[in-house]
Amino acid sequence: MEAAYKERKGFKVAGLKYVGKNPQPDIANLWDKFVPRMNEPQNRINENESYGVCYDMDAEGNIYYIAGVAVSDFDNLPEGFDIVEIPDNKYAVFTHKGSIANFSQTVAYVYGEWVKNPANKKKFDAPDFEVYDERFKGDADDSECDLYVAVNND
């Protein structure tokens, strides 16, 4: 799997948050809760995109993840919504092709192999995120989504 490198301007994401150590089933459940609410933010920017943002990991190994949408600001958000701001950054972009049920294979490659290669300069203090746009079709074989991994700008 090859990475494409892209610069991306910062943006704001609002959605539902997961904190825990067992992301596989729990994040799928989070998306099941979020999808019916994704149009609630009145300040949503792009109605064709949603984001899964992994923005922190604590000392106990818990990951912090938001299933969300881009918003123009954090004012007047629906009850229960959390926020994360994505800074301007350079990213290695990996396109997952096929059913979302197999997305864990893409994640395993990126974080199990690609990140461990010293030639790939992962930026650990910046959020990584998934982009689900018009190409995303859930469990369909022709579905696609992108995983953006923050890299150093040098």
Q: What are phi and psi of 100, to 5 degrees?
A: -65, -20
For residue 16, pLDDT beyond 70: yes
pTM score, whole prediction: 0.94
Tokens of 38: 């994704």
For residue 21, pLDDT beyond 90: no
For residue 9, pLDDT beyond 80: yes
The CATH superfamily assigned to 4-151 is Regulatory factor, effector binding domain (3.20.80.10)
Length in residues, the chain: 154
For residue 154, pLDDT beyond 70: no
58-117 pLDDT per residue, tens: 889 899 999 999 999 999 999 999 999 999 999 999 999 999 999 999 999 999 999 999
| pLDDT for 153 | 73
d(CA 9, CA 69): 15
Of 107, 142, 117, 146, nearest in space to 130 by CA: 146
